[in-house]
Amino acid sequence: MPEITESELAPNVKALWLKALSAVQTNNHSYAVKLLQSVLKDAPFFLEGRQVLRKCEGIVQGGAKSGKGLFGMSSGGPGMKVSGAVKKDPLSALPMIEEFLENNPYSPEGNDLLFEAFMALQLPESAAFALETVRRGHPEHLKLMHKLAAFYIGNDNPAKAAEVYRDIIKHHPADSAAIKGEKDCTARASMQKGGWSEQADMKSLLKNKDEAGELDQGSKSGLTRDQLEDRRDRLILKYNEDPNQLAIVKDLAGIFEQLEDWSNSFTFYSWGFSLSNGDVALQTKADKMKDKVAEQQMQELEARAKSNPDDPEVQAMLAERKAARIAESLEEAKKRVDVNPTDPTLRFELGQAYFNAGDYSGAIPQLQQAKRNPHIQSKVLLLLGRTFKAKGMLDMASKQLADALADLVGMDNTKKEILYEKGLIHAEMGDKDGALEAFKQIYEVDYGYRDVAARVESSYA
- Give residue 31's region: left, alpha or beta (phi > 0; psi -120 to 50): alpha
Mean of pLDDT values over 305-326:
87
List CB contacts of 318: < 8 A, sequence separation 6 or more. Answer: 301, 302, 304, 305
- For position 66, what pLDDT does the model report? 59
User: Of 457, 454, 387, nearest to 425 (Cα)?
Assistant: 387
* pTM assigned to the model: 0.45
pLDDT category of residue 202 using cuts at 50, 70 and 90? very low
Q: Which of 349, 154, 139, 364 is nearest to 242 (CA)?
A: 154
Q: How large is the average pLDDT for residues 290-307?
A: 86
Q: Is 255 exposed, middle or buried (0-12, 13-18, 19+ CB in 10 A)?
A: buried
Predicted confidence at residue 222, as pLDDT, reads 62
Contact 440, 417 (CB under 8 A): no
| Domain architecture of the chain: domains with CATH | 1-138 (1.25.40)
Cβ 30 vs Cβ 11: under 8 Å: no
Measuring CA to CA, which residue among 118, 164, 120 is closest to residue 142? 164
DSSP string, 282-317: HHHHHHHHHHHHHHHHHHHHHHHHHH-TT-HHHHHH
Share of the chain above pLDDT 70, in %: 89
Mean pLDDT, residues 375-381? 92
Backbone phi, then psi, for 46, in 5-degree steps? -85, 90
H/E element holding 369?
Answer: helix 360-370
Give the pLDDT band (50/70/90) at residue 317: confident
Q: Which of the residue ranges 121-135, 141-155, 203-217, 428-442 would you say has the lowest mean pLDDT?
A: 203-217
What residues have CB less than 8 Å from 412, skipping those under 6 apart?
none
Does the CA dihedral 373-378-384-388 come out positive or negative?
positive
When pLDDT is cut at 50, 70 and 90, the band that residue 205 belongs to is: very low
Segment 398-418 mean pLDDT: 91
| pLDDT average, residue stretch 17-36 | 94
DSSP annotation string for 44-69: TTBHHHHHHHHHHHHHHHTS----S-
Angle of helix 108-120 relative to helix 124-137, nearest 10 degrees, comes to: 170
Across the chain, mean pLDDT equals: 86
Per-residue model confidence as pLDDT tens digits over 36-73: 999 999 999 999 999 999 999 999 988 777 544 443 33
Q: Are 331 and 308 in contact (CB under 8 A)?
A: no
Of 151, 139, 152, 83, nearest in space to 106 by CA: 139
Instruction: Flag whether pLDDT at 191 surpasses 90.
Output: no
Q: Can you point out the beta strands (E) in 253-293?
A: none
Least confident of 66-80, 101-115, 231-245, 447-461: 66-80
CA dihedral over 110, 116, 122, 127, signed as positive or negative? positive
Average pLDDT (416-445) is: 95
Q: With both helix axes pointing from N to C terminus, report the angle between 142-154 and 158-171 in degrees, rounded to the nearest 10.
A: 170
Beta bridge pairs of residue 4: 46
Mean pLDDT of 311-339: 87
Q: Residues near 131 by Cβ (< 8 Å), separated by ≥ 6?
A: 111, 112, 115, 144, 147, 148, 151
Taking residues 12-27, report their average pLDDT: 93
Q: Residue 75: exposed, middle, or buried by beta-carbon count in 10 A (0-12, 13-18, 19+)?
A: exposed
The single-letter DSSP state of residue 331 is H
pLDDT digits (tens, 9 = 90+) for 346-372: 999 999 999 999 999 999 999 999 998
pLDDT of the residue at 68 = 42
Buried b (16+ CB within 10 A) or exposed e, 197-230: eeeeebeeeeeeeeebeebeeeeeeeeeeeebee
pLDDT digits (tens, 9 = 90+) for 129-162: 999 999 999 999 999 999 999 999 988 899 999 9
Q: Enumerate the H helices of 121-221 as residue ranges.
A: 124-137, 142-154, 158-171, 176-193, 198-203, 209-217
Is the model's pLDDT at 218 over the cut of 50?
Answer: no
Using the 8-state DSSP alphabet, how is residue 4 labeled?
A: B
- Which pLDDT value is given to residue 133? 94
395 contacts 414 by C-beta, under 8 angstroms: no
Percent of the chain predicted with pLDDT > 90: 53
